[in-house]
A and B are shown apart, each in its own frame.
Chain A
Amino acid sequence: MAHQPCAIVGVGQTHHKTRRWDVSLGGLVREAAQRALDDAEMTWKDIDAVVIGKAPDLFEGVMKPELYLSDALGAAGKPVFRVHTAGSVGGTTGIVAAHHVESGRHKRVLAVAYQKQSEGNAQFALGSGRGFSIGAGGAFAPFMRSYMYRTGAPAEIGPMVAVKDRKNALKNPYAHLKIEDISLEKVMASPMMWDPVRFLESCPSSDGACAVVFTDKEGGEAAAKAGRQPAWILGSAVRSEPSQFPGRDPVAPQGAADCAADVYQQAGITNPLEQIDCAELYVPFSWYEPMWLEGHHIAEFGEGWKMVERGDTEIGGRFPVNMSGGVLSSNPIGASGLLRFSEAALQVRGMAGEHQVEGANVAIAQAYGASAQYFSMWVVANSLDPFGK
């Protein structure tokens, strides 16, 4: 491994809501970035480069918004970089920012990802204004239906995931949806949106941002010495595959499997279920939790739903998933990937508050996008050698 170690020393996010009309786009990203800087005990001046990620520009109607946002992020005179890889973009933004440190290019890099869905209409934009969008739920529903058919998973598995994530969200002060009286009955009784997915099994549309501060080995060790536990990146990877062709299986995409195998290899993970303490997986619709457990070698094909059924993926379970409440509870699309990645970092830093998994030393985070064809993943840990190699 020729790259240099990279540490996460600051994480920040906004309160996610349907409409953050109290802030501009600049105000939104600055709120998250300021929290990340405070966490890192840094100021704007300490940052060498800024990496900005978001999903399609048509969602807010601002083309290449990083040009305007550079002022709000104190970036004048610095390098500003803009990533866009569909729904996986938040994760990829974190990975690109980490590479800026791992390559030795910069010492301190700020990654910021956001979406302000209330500024536009995502459903309209996804149809490129031509009015025939079936939306993300419509695009993914056949994959979920196929998953149920092929694995024989009982119909209530999806609703169980929804209940679990919504309960977790009640512990997360930043989460968008807080449904106090959530129950299996309530989920099952909610309207069917895109069969098999019901309203309460779907993600919301959110305004929100997430920011992460990355630094090098020296910076990470200094933070640790000062009593601020860093999260060390043990591995990161991205994969892309075509939207459509007969050899592709969108229920268990090869790109997801390859991406996971790559990060596990980098991190020295041979038994994901045993060696990983918790995971933040990109689950915008309930059924994606078992699908990704299987898609990333955590469970065998057809076994992931059994983990859900047994309660393994609850906080306190054998393999907690989406302790933050996940995408099901907050979905500022461009930021959703980075929120997964930063929650994994918070967990291994022991800073996840009420949704902390006890003894979390190693965590993974994942994001995916477009037609379940773009993947980004990382493994973080509270030391560079958590397995005592």
Chain B
Amino acid sequence: MNVPVAVVGAAHVKSERRTVEAENRMVLRAVRAAMQAAGVTKDDVGFTCSGSGDYLAGGTFAFVANLEAVGAWPPIAESHVEMDGAWALYEAWTLLQEGEVDVALVYGSGKSSPGDIATVYPLMLDPYFLTPLGLDPVSLAALQARALLESGRATERDFAEVVARNRANAIGNPNAQVSGKFDVDELLRADYVRDPLRRHDLPPISDGACAVVLATADKAAQLAERPAWITGIAHRIDVHQPGFRDLTVSPSTTAAAEAAGIGDGPVEVAELMAPFSFQELILRDAIGLDDSVDINPSGGALAANPIMATGLIRIAEAANQVTHHGKARTLAHVTGGLDLQQNLVTILGSERP
């Protein structure tokens, strides 16, 4: 039997379009707040894992400087993934399963402001056949959106409705970067950035950081009044070449959700990482979420998108719904790569598994 693991503290800093604050300072603020929320100190933490990206920072070993934020002295057991912090959480969760460590600290951070995303992101594609095309993430997302429209499963109005709801939800989120009441008809009158996507269909460009404290079994129960137990977590990847897959569906999300136990019962809240508005529609279908599910009460990635932390924030928000809002079962989805290539699903609950 696996060791039960729960989120016992989480925090993230307010996302901003451009901050002069160093990344490790942002991490420091998030880590301190998460550890305070969990009621743990550095001495309690048995394993630390982080997610960040060298290409965002425009340097090699960018994560090394972030170590300063966790005070790695005496030396700590620590690891790093060149992925969203949600996968760092997955690594920590895996280790906690072995029962030899009872508290783990996870963080994800990224500053998109120093570079030009349209130049950097094509480097995330097949370097021989795709990167030379200069295929930027917005164009690639537009191809996906076009395919979805042509499948007849959604309209541009549906896209705008996703935006209006997320931005309205974000009004109550102090860490959001974009929020407010927007009229769908008004949104639809905007020009295309890349047909069929309008500016509001795109995520904001953000600097930000998130930290989460995990604990096992009795330790979690002791630290938190109402821990958010991870009842399932899984991730899968799809074929890379966009031409080799049906862009209107997300089989890796479906498989991850099934492996995480979506079939065991309904969820009340889902935090979906849909950086582009229409992707939320694909994800809802992929996971099988009906209209009764509250989607993105935080405003989602359309409200704040600090790459490498956006996904971990989804898990933190879903955990927050259990711990502070009385929800019994919530879901967090995280994506990586372009056009939803890689996906991770976490299901959290109030009942100790």
Chain A contacts to B: CB under 8 angstroms = 1-3, 24-25, 56-68, 70-71, 75-86, 92, 96, 99-100, 102-105, 125-126, 128-129, 237-243, 245, 247-248, 253-255, 258-259, 262, 370-371, 373, 375
Contact = CB atoms under 8 A, between A and B. Distances in A.
Given A58-B55, A63-B120, A84 B236 contact: no
B72 A67 contact: no
A83 B82 contact: yes
Contacts of B128: 24
A236 B39 CA distance: 29
B296 interface: no
Given A83-B81, A105-B94, A238-B78, A64 B64 contact: no
A286 B252 CA distance: 46
B7 to A, nearest CB: 18
Interface string B227-266: 0000000111111110000000001100100000000000
A67 B336 CA distance: 8
Interface in B31-63: 48, 53-55, 58-61, 63
Interface residues of B, number: 61
Interface of B: 2-3, 48, 53-55, 58-61, 63-65, 67-68, 72-83, 87, 90-91, 94-95, 97-100, 120-121, 123-128, 131, 234-241, 251-252, 255, 336-338, 341-342
Nearest to B68: A242
Contact of A85 (B58, B72, B80, B236): B80
A103 B91 CA distance: 11
A237 B64 contact: no
Given A104-B2, A128-B58, A243-B64, A64 B79 contact: no
Given A1-B100, A76-B237, A242-B73, A86 B2 contact: no
B127 A67 contact: no
A170 B262 CA distance: 55
Contact of A237 (B68, B77, B83, B97): B77
Contacts of B97: 103-105
B81 to A, nearest CB: 6
A80 B342 contact: yes
A86 B81 CA distance: 11
A241 B339 CA distance: 37
Given A77-B238, A103-B97, A241-B75, A60 B80 contact: no
Contacts of A58: 54-55, 59-60
B236 A78 contact: yes
Contact of B94 (A2, A78, A100): A100
Nearest to B71: A242
Nearest to B65: A243
Nearest to A89: B80
Contacts of B100: 1-3
Q: Which 4 A-B pairs have the closest CB atoms?
A: A128-B59, A255-B75, A2-B99, A103-B97
Given A76-B239, A104-B2, A240 B59 contact: no
Contacts of A105: 94, 97
B2 A64 contact: no
A354 to B, nearest CB: 35
A2 B98 contact: yes
A67 B337 contact: yes
A102 B336 CA distance: 26
Contacts of B237: 67, 70, 75-80
B63 A84 contact: yes
Contacts of A125: 60
Nearest to B239: A76
Given A77-B255, A99-B98, A373-B64, 15 more contacts: A56-B54, A57-B53, A63-B123, A65-B127, A67-B337, A76-B237, A82-B82, A83-B82, A84-B81, A86-B61, A96-B79, A96-B91, A247-B73, A258-B75, A375-B75
B125 A68 contact: yes
B124 A64 contact: yes
Contacts of A99: 91, 94-95, 98
Contacts of A3: 98-100
Contacts of B55: 57-58, 63-64
A63 B91 CA distance: 21
